[in-house]
Amino acid sequence: MTIIIIKQDFIFFHEVVEFLTCFTSLIYLFNHRQTVDNLQRLIEMLIPAKRWEEAKDLLEENGKVLEFWCEEIPEDKVVIKILVDADKSQTTIDKLKDRFGRYETFRLLLFKVEASLPVEEEETKKEEKEEEGKETIGVSREELYTEVKDQSKLNRVYLLLTGLAAVVASIGVLRNDVAVIVGAMVIAPMLGPNVGLSLATTLADIDLAKLAAKTALIGIMISFLVSIFIGLVLEVDPTTTQIEARTSVDLLHVVLALSAGSAGTLAYTKGLSSAVIGVMVALALVPAIAASGLLIGSGALTQGFNAFLLFSINLICINLSGVLTFVAQGFEPSTWWEADKARKLTKKALLLWVTLLGILIAVIIYTQYF
């Protein structure tokens, strides 16, 4: 009896540690919430030379531009370089696209600026924040889209890292070794496709949705099959603490996964390193799918189902909170008709995720109390 009580306390302690890890990551985001405010972007726009005066007037009227200058190039073209704060870049990009996007020579490039002198005074920034005009609370839509799409691509590196993460996580779970499990979280590329799916939903981008969903699904299948194979060839002890912790599902896991998804999305929108937050997303997904595969491979189907239930809840919560975070940050398509379509799709997606989550929570309550 004493051993059972100690083990249950250890499992509860393990869940609390996971929650504190999540909470610590959120504190990290809060402490670095001004990261985007301190970053700048350099926009380079290529347009016909005869449109320089029109562009000059537009930029002078735009109070969000820090500085701009022009360079002439052959073939009657000019390159206009525009310096803006990262969180002000979206409005400037949209205005330039609306005014000059119809010209055949139009091209717009966006670069990160490591530093610029002189440094803008803080009082000036506070005055600019009070000006009217809708902004995304973070990096520009185009910059975010490019980064997320790149990390949602299915390639050999993604497949290799996913397989290796599954092997490492399975060994860590079998050996009851937390350090090894953390190592699996570090190398698991789980963040990109899930954020990509949330962003695709928010922007109503079908192509990105297909790409992210395909990559995420293949990654899940690889992790699951690798874990099942290891469960077939190695002895699996279902009473191991790390396995039991994944077969005991409660509402605390829902809070953990919701926080993980929101933090992962914020990491992208705020220009923070996704490596740190990616570990937290992997924390919610990798050990659970590894434990499920190991148990099913060893023949413990009921416990394997419970672990897979935990994985499913985490996956739904991460995508649900990701969509909510993008909506709260103000990310939507640039044109009104695309924005209207995106809002309708977002509502449908949120309804789907909430419904699925409600069903799984009902299953948890039923298995625990009935």
Domains by residue range for the chain, with CATH: 37-135 (3.30.70.120), 143-369 (no CATH)
The pLDDT of 324-332, averaged and rounded, is: 86
CB contact at 8 A, 234 and 302: no
- Is the four-CA dihedral 124, 85, 92, 144 of positive or negative sign? negative
The pLDDT of 164-189, averaged and rounded, is: 88
Report the pLDDT value the prediction gives residue 283, as an integer from 0 to 100.
Answer: 75
The pLDDT of 126-132, averaged and rounded, is: 48
Report the pLDDT value the prediction gives residue 143, as an integer from 0 to 100.
Answer: 81
The pLDDT of 190-207, averaged and rounded, is: 89
Least confident of 93-102, 156-165, 292-301, 360-369: 360-369
> What whole-number distance in Å separates Cα of residue 90 and Cα of residue 94?
6
Cα first-last separation, the chain: 23
Put simply, whether the predicted model's pTM sits higher than 0.85 gets the answer: no
Convert the pLDDT of each residue in 136-175 to its tens digit. Answer: 556 778 888 888 889 899 999 999 999 999 999 999 999 9
Residue 95 CB: number of other CB atoms within 10 A?
16
Q: Give the CA distances from residue 249 to residues 33, 309, 364, in Å, rounded to whole numbers and listed in that order.
A: 32, 8, 7
pLDDT averaged over every residue in the chain: 81
Residue 73 has pLDDT above 70, yes or no: yes
The pLDDT of 337-341, averaged and rounded, is: 80
Residue 1 has pLDDT above 50, yes or no: no
Q: Chain centroid to CA 289: how far?
A: 19
